[in-house]
């Protein structure tokens, strides 16, 4: 197994806490003998950056078996990520709270009466009613976010047969035909619509989508998050959202 960590950024900014978490992950990879590499790509269009990263993984990293998308603004525990990528599922993601900005919390407070400070971040996951958490700590879901998502080479190749391609005119893939795994479609005002598109294509290709819901830390009692977003240099800690 060889892991490629792929981080797309809009402005090239990677939070220091994220960088340190990735360093801890790589240190742990070395300890257990897991081969790894990292690709970081900056593009004002995140879907295009993710498409380029997937293309580079498939065409440049021939010996790599697994692609792990990690957002530049999440903090995580390295053992959680390592445990998740080691699982045999082709498409599996860590459950991450959706970033909620201050004005959203204020609007929510007006409607519910809950103070903005106590506002709980909704999770980037689409649950299936009646599904139960399996012994390996995973849950079958209809959707998962892209900030902490592992896809195997085998799955990406099979999904690619369902995707259109386009001629890239920028970045490291310029002049090459790139599969459009991620496309920002006009669904509704949803978070990361290109993620919904990708997961939909994966499901159409017959793949199960798994969420890894077992994590360590203060929020382990809720077994609901594997990472948290970082904004303005601090970690968002309002993570107490049970799956029920």
Domains delineated in the chain: 2-235 (3.90.550)
Q: Which residues pair with 234 in a beta bridge?
A: 231
Query: In this predicted model, what pLDDT tens digit does every residue of 12-63 receive, in sequence order?
Result: 888 888 888 899 999 999 999 999 999 999 998 889 999 999 999 999 999 9
Instruction: Determine the Cα–Cα distance for residues 110 and 79; give it in Å rounded to an integer.
Output: 39
Our separate counts of H helices and E strands in the chain read: 6, 13
144 Cβ neighbours under 8 A, 6+ residues apart: 92, 93, 95, 124, 125, 126, 195, 199, 209, 210, 211
Rg (CA), the chain: 18
pLDDT in tens, 103-112: 555 565 566 5
* pLDDT attached to residue 174: 95
Per-residue pLDDT at 239:
35
Return mean pLDDT, the chain.
79
Of 58, 22, 84, the C-alpha closest to 157 is 58
**Which residues of the chain are modeled with pLDDT < 70?**
98-122, 184-193, 214-244
Burial of 156 (0-12, 13-18, 19+ CB in 10 A): buried
Could you tell me the pTM of the whole model? 0.81
């Amino acid at each position: 197994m060889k892991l490629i960590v792929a981080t797309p950024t809009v402005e090239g900014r990677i939070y220091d806490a994220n960088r340190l978490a990735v360093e801890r992950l790589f240190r742990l990879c070395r300890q257990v003998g897991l081969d790894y590499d990292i690709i970081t790509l900056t593009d004002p269009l995140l879907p295009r950056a993710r498409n380029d990263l997937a293309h580079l993984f498939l065409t440049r990293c021939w010996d790599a078996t697994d692609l792990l998308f990690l957002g530049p603004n999440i903090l995580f525990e390295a053992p959680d990520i390592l445990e998740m990528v080691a699982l045999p599922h082709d498409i599996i993601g860590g459950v991450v709270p959706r970033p909620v900005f201050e004005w959203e919390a204020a609007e929510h407070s007006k409607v519910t009466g809950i103070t903005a400070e106590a506002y709980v971040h909704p999770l980037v996951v689409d649950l299936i009613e009646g599904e139960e958490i399996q012994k390996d700590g995973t849950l079958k879901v209809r959707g998962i976010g892209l900030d902490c998502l592992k896809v195997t080479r085998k799955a990406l190749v099979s999904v690619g047969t369902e995707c259109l391609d386009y001629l890239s005119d920028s970045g490291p893939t310029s002049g090459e035909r790139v599969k459009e795994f991620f496309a920002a479609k006009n669904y509704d005002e949803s978070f990361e619509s290109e993620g919904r598109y990708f997961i939909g294509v994966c499901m159409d290709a017959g793949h199960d989508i798994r969420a890894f819901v077992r994590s360590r830390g203060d929020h382990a009692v809720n077994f609901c998050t594997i990472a948290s977003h970082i904004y303005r240099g601090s970690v968002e800690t309002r993570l107490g959202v049970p799956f029920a």
